[in-house]
A and B are shown apart, each in its own frame.
Chain A
Amino acid sequence: MTPTFFTNINGLLLVLAVYLTGGLLCLISGPRARLAHPLGAATAAIASALGFIATLPALSAVAPQHVALSWPAAGVDLALTLDPLAAFFLLPIFLLTFCGALYAIDYLHFPDRSWRAGLHWFFYNSLGASMTVVVLAANGLVFLLAWEIMSLSSFFLVTHDYQEEKVRQAGWLYLVATHIGAAFLFFLFFAASRAAGSLDFASFTALRTLPADSALLLFFAALIGFGAKAGLFPMHVWLPDAHPAAPSHVSALMSGVMIKTALYGLLRMLTFLPPIPGWIGIAVAILGIIGALFGIAMAATQTDIKRSLAYSTVENIGIIFLGFGLWLFCLATGHEAAAFLALIGALLHIWNHSLFKGLLFLGAGSLVHATGSRELSAMGGLLRRMPLTGSLLFFGGAAISALPPLNGFISEWLLYLSLFKAGQDTLAGTAVLFMLLAILLALVSGLVMLVMTRLLGVALQGEPRSQAAATAHESSAVLLIAAMLIPAGLCLLVGIAPQLPLQLINGPLIAMLLPNFAAADTTLLPPFGPAWSFTMLVALALLAIIVTVRTVRRRAAGRIGTWGCGYLKPDTRMAYTAGSYSQFAQDTVFCSCITPTAASTRSAALFPPAAQFRQERLDPVLTRWFLPLFRKLAEQAYAFRRLQAGQLSIYVLYIFTTTILLLGWSIMAP
């Protein structure tokens, strides 16, 4: 097999074959967990590594590659297309699937005679394969089919610990939310195929001539359908429950890349639709910044480490939508330069978020594993006990807080520049709006700092807050650490050499999404290049040397306990907790709907019984908007219960009537 044969869509067919064989072998290995566990992990890792190599050249290739298997029964072919847009989303998918598989080898433990290993790896492989097909699909039917498989396999992965009531609830919420979104997608693709004449994406270009109102209808169907999967506010409600419930490598995969397939779907639809009016772009940008503010404020109040990270995903999706909205607006109003900066910033942020959120979820998983709890209040002091994992988490926290010289800073920088540029180029009315968006983005990044210092400070630093945390120790597993080192290394690489990813993006991909713009125009970008890399490297090296020298040659007169301001018996129960850290921000900055609800029983009796205090950090959108709505709907649907009379004769009547109606329809139909 020559490299040229392999590094294209043929290679991806091979990848799919490896995924499927691996998955099926795991399934038929039945209860032999000792066989299925390494086998499933190995096939997933091999397939994704092959996929990464096969996809890389396609990002800068102009001509898309097709492959099609005929499928007469469905009326359309099983057709796949690899173009720069697909390649852009495939790369992080393969990368995180690879890291997740490495991580899971040491992270998951199965009893010897258990079906669960085989099932887990069957669904893991099928999630990998279905995400690949979603991005490669060349017609609506293949897309929807793969989309459903993706939703279902991730549902089964989320409910890995199905014995827990909370996990089942989270899985159920996810299943419902993802299918409501899917309903909009079914509508979207079938409406589009009616207008275009076929489900083939190639024929969807006919949609360019749609009248404005039906194009808008399709756009909103896409925004809601894909937004529900992406976790766009206010359709994010499933995300904070599902991510913590899943095993950590699955959380990393879902949060890092699976929800990004929805962004892919949206971008793909936008390439077919006629130009979107500018006000829609503004609406999307505003929705994005509201989601970012809401997500990060919610993240600041959570005490469950993975739930906090899940809300931070809502925030990052908001930032990406802010970039998309600005891009759409500037495209509609002809401000090409700002559109370019917004688009390239949003795209780079998609990659960046995959990297640091993958790293953070994997690291958080190790902490959860070591302490046996997801609660921040059960951790503490873990940086001393797990120096490698702790430092890697620290690194991820710095990257997501957009600190130079790491990757998050680069994409936020580009987004700021696009907002400034749009504010400079447009008229006063919209300029004020963009300035306001830039200011809110600054507020968001300030809050990210609050959330991350809280998460790292409470989980990793200070004294252990539980017995389990006190006895925690670093895992000796090499693969576990390697799975986190890969995204961490890439975070640093993108930060100090941003020209490398930007060159990959700023090619055929930009040409696809910004047709009237000279893609190679790098004069708008900050001066990323050898000089930037050199400066950052020197600064980093100097810092590292100083810290190392000072740590090794410490002139410490001694080590004693932290100064307790004169108090002699400090206790970890007196230490600042996650709740107290965010209390001040809660009281002064956040709106009251964000604050946790508290319930307490306090007795005024002379000999009071044990008092109780409980705080719940529920999503206000879910409890105030969606749950009442669905309760109303359920009440209305109650009337339909009469149809289910429970008598056999009634059901026979239903079947009979349906058959007659179908018969009549088939006669009447031409």
Chain B
Amino acid sequence: MFIRLLLHLLLLAGLSPLLIGVITRTKAIIAGRRGAPLWQPYRDLGKLFRKDMVLSSTTTWVFRAGPVVGIAVPLMAALLIPFGAIGAPFSFSGDLVLFVYLFGLARFFTVLAALDTGSSFEGMGAAREATFSCLAEPTLFVAFIVLARISGSFTLDTMFGTLLANNLQTVYGVSLVLTAICLFIIMLAENCRIPFDDPNTHLELTMIHEVMVLDHSGPDFGLILYGAAMKLMVMGTLVVNFVMPPATGHLLLDAGLYVAALLALAAGIGLVESGMARLRLIKVPQLLIGTSLLSFFALVLLLR
């Protein structure tokens, strides 16, 4: 278990900024540019951690706690899920609820850290984040219920284990494909990617996540970016586990396969982001509710 714990933490800490780099690079190539090197996110983080920071005189301890919780939560949540064929270091009955609520903890602190500044722009982003997550959280639960029903277990390790890919060819296939699509959409929504939010937008009025962190700077901002990258990797792992083959018996080979799948997913996100524009804010709840209905349809198909 200790090796798996170490491997999980190393993979998460080492690999997550690379995903952001791959997404940016893909978008650049599609747009006909050369783009920044793949390790640019690492450089950015390093620069931020060396910087001084400016704090708003309105803020309290909550403002400083936000980034810490924002990076601690993906670290903890990652320990509950398998990375491809590498099993979860911690696994117990009902850990799926803990997984969802850990992200709730991060959101609580991010939103309140934003409100701590008293800026109306950040309030706007906080309100949007809190509202959208109300709609995204149920879908995550439905997806977990579908997988729990198929695997007959309430542990994420079994639900997202390597039997998932096998089940794709059985009667459960349709439900599983629908669930995977829903999880992909939820991953985009939770990580503020296009079409829900544009991480590169320039107008504060249209932002969701970026506007909440306007006042963070230096190491605090670095923690936030790092935490966001880790969150993307954790949510992305849920999606790639649908296609991961069973364990090869060789730990490094398993890890390599998993990394390859994640990089492919990141390229996929880049393609999605190049192919479409951000939705109008009014349309976002409709898409999220539609996703909930789709996931519920997957559940009904399973129970029929």
| A residues with CB within 8 A of B | 380-381, 383-384, 387, 390-391, 394, 398, 401-404, 409, 412-413, 416-417, 420, 423-424, 428, 431-432, 435-436, 438-440, 442-443, 445-447, 449-450, 452-454, 456-458, 461-463, 526-527, 539, 542-543, 546-547, 550-551, 554-565, 570, 572, 574-576, 580-585, 588-589
Contacts and interface: CB of A to CB of B under 8 A. Distances in A.
A420 B69 contact: no
8 contacts: A380-B118, A403-B105, A404-B105, A435-B142, A450-B134, A554-B64, A558-B55, A575-B123
Contacts of A458: 115
A620 B225 CA distance: 44
Interface stretch (B7-15, B29-37, B40-48, B92-100): B92-100
Interface residues of B, number: 73
The 10 closest A-B pairs by CB, nearest first: A576-B123, A462-B118, A457-B115, A446-B134, A557-B52, A588-B285, A562-B56, A450-B130, A428-B303, A526-B94
B278 interface: no
A551 B61 contact: yes
A463 B58 contact: yes
B184 interface: no
Nearest to A574: B120
Contacts of B296: 435-436, 439
A582 B55 CA distance: 27
A403 B108 contact: yes
B62 A461 contact: yes
A575 B118 contact: yes
Contact of B126 (A440, A457, A560): A457
B131 A450 contact: yes
A584 B285 CA distance: 10
Contact of A445 (B104, B123, B300): B104
Given A381-B118, A413-B97, A588-B282, A582 B137 contact: no
Contact of A461 (B116, B134, B142, B299): B116
Interface string B136-157: 0110111001001100101000
Contacts of B122: 576
B60 A383 contact: yes
Contacts of A554: 53, 55, 64
Contact of B55 (A412, A436, A556): A556
A420 B54 CA distance: 47
Given A401-B108, A424-B148, A446 B138 contact: yes
Nearest to B283: A588
B138 A439 contact: yes
Interface stretch (B172-180, B213-221, B248-256): B213-221
B101 A449 contact: no
B124 A576 contact: yes
B124 to A, nearest CB: 7
A470 to B, nearest CB: 12
Contact of A560 (B54, B119, B140): B54
B172 to A, nearest CB: 15
A326 B113 CA distance: 38
Contact of B65 (A384, A435, A547): A547
A450 B133 CA distance: 9
Nearest to B130: A450
Given A383-B62, A576-B123, A560 B135 contact: no
A559 to B, nearest CB: 5
Given A439-B141, A574-B120, A404 B53 contact: no
Given A439-B142, A462-B118, A565-B204, A432 B299 contact: yes
A384 B116 CA distance: 10
Instruction: Indicate the member of A435, A560, A562 with the most B CB atoms within 10 Å.
Output: A562
B124 A559 contact: no
B38 interface: no
Nearest to A419: B145
A430 to B, nearest CB: 10
Contacts of B64: 547, 550-551, 554
Contacts of A384: 58, 60
Contacts of B108: 398, 401, 403, 449, 452-453
Contacts of B76: 539
A547 B68 contact: yes
Interface of B: 52-62, 64-65, 68-69, 72, 76, 92-95, 97-98, 100-102, 104-105, 107-108, 111-112, 115-124, 126-128, 130-131, 133-135, 137-138, 140-142, 145, 148-149, 152, 154, 204, 214-215, 218-219, 282, 285, 292, 296, 299-300, 303-304
Nearest to A555: B52
A580 B119 CA distance: 13
B97 A416 contact: yes
A411 to B, nearest CB: 11
B273 to A, nearest CB: 24
A555 B220 CA distance: 10
B115 A461 contact: yes
A413 B98 contact: yes
Nearest to A556: B55
B53 A580 contact: no
Contacts of A580: 120, 123-124, 127
Contacts of A574: 120
B115 A555 contact: no
Given A423-B145, A458-B115, A559 B56 contact: yes
Contacts of B130: 446, 449-450, 453-454, 585
Contacts of A546: 68
Contacts of A445: 101, 104, 137
Contacts of A557: 52-54, 218
Contact of A435 (B68, B119, B299): B299
B128 A584 contact: yes
B60 A461 contact: yes
B141 A424 contact: no
Contacts of A438: 141, 145
Contacts of B55: 554, 556, 558-559
A424 B303 CA distance: 10
A398 B284 CA distance: 27
Contact of B127 (A394, A403, A582): A582
Contacts of B123: 457, 462, 575-576, 580-581
A556 B54 contact: yes
A526 B80 CA distance: 14
Contacts of A550: 64, 68
A442 B137 contact: yes
A571 to B, nearest CB: 10
B126 A453 contact: yes
Contacts of B57: 559-562
A560 B58 CA distance: 8
B92 A527 contact: yes
Given A462-B115, A547-B68, A555 B145 contact: no
Nearest to B303: A428
Contacts of A461: 58, 60, 62, 112, 115-118
Given A458-B115, A559-B56, 16 more contacts: A398-B108, A435-B299, A438-B141, A438-B145, A439-B145, A442-B138, A450-B134, A453-B130, A461-B62, A526-B92, A526-B95, A542-B72, A543-B65, A551-B64, A556-B54, A589-B131
Contacts of B128: 584
Contacts of B154: 417, 420
A564 B135 CA distance: 30
B204 to A, nearest CB: 5
